[in-house]
Amino acid sequence: MKALLICAALLVSSPLYAAQLLIDLGSGGHTWQTDELLQHPEARDITLNNDVSYKRDMRYRAVPIASLLKGLQPQDHLQAVALDGFAAELSAAPLLNRQGAQAWLAIEDPAKPWPALATGKPSAGPFYLVWSNPEAGHISPEQWPFQVARLQRLAPVAQRFPALNPDPKLAANDPVNQGFALFQKNCLACHRLNGAGDSQLGPDLNSPYSPTEYFGDDFLKRYIRDPQSLRRWPQAKMPGFNSNVLPDAELELLLGYLRHMAGRKQFP
């Protein structure tokens, strides 16, 4: 009996096992097995320069994500949920694009496991959303979710989480609303605000205080650009957002949204 338990534990802890990915677009979910994806008719080997998670060139067996999202429309909204609680909010249009910046689902082959992300940490598998030519689509690090377990179509963020919304009196093209769009793209995968959001990783960015209330403007910008230049600890996970990913003008818009929401606190 003891031997059986040991064998079972080894099977669970070993990276050499197949995994499952649930894709639910609202008309009945489909669960993909690792082998199915590795043998998908559109699967191919791709090489990515300076992979966001591994910080070096990587080669993957991958399937164009658009081929797995049949029926999804460009105006739809998708959420990628990772094993650790990371919940990336993704507009459908870039995912469906097959030119310029193209999204791929990288599949970890149990027979050829990927390297660990860091000492004592797992790999980016079993499934990892990656991008070829990301600079063409202004793709942010938060749009590269790894250890993905589920992709699901959901209502837009503003409908699901009213507590995130700026003052409804503002025009649609107001800078604060532009900052809200950037917050969804770059921050909501890890952070909540006013208790609203699906992620379980980072702290709330408005409750009890907004970072705009306790950081000087210059230091807050520096923190967003290079978090560990101000706060360094072994478990730090927040990536830096350089000017290629988040240009200075967009950073100002994002901070404008956070300042605005500091005046619209809702305590969960």
**Which residues, other chains included, contact 8 with Cβ-Cβ below 8 Å and sequence gap of 6+?**
none
The distance in angstroms from the start CA to the end CA of the chain is: 48
Whether the predicted pLDDT of 173 surpasses 90: yes
pLDDT value at position 64? 98
Whether the predicted pLDDT of 95 surpasses 90: yes
Domains by residue range for the chain, with CATH = 17-154 (3.90.420.10), 158-262 (2.60.40.420)
Q: What's the one-letter identity of residue 37? A: L
Q: What's the one-letter identity of residue 157? A: V
The two three-digit tokens of residue 143, written as one number: 């749009």
Residues 219-254: tens digit of each pLDDT: 999 999 988 877 766 666 677 888 878 899 999 999
φ, ψ dihedrals at 131, nearest 5°: -135, 135
Residues 116-166: tens digit of each pLDDT: 998 888 999 999 999 999 988 888 888 999 999 999 999 989 999 999 999
pTM of whole model > 0.85? no
Query: What percentage of the chain carries pLDDT values higher than 90?
Result: 68
How far is Cα 142 from Cα 123, in angstroms, rounded to an integer? 17
pLDDT value at position 36? 96
pLDDT value at position 5? 36
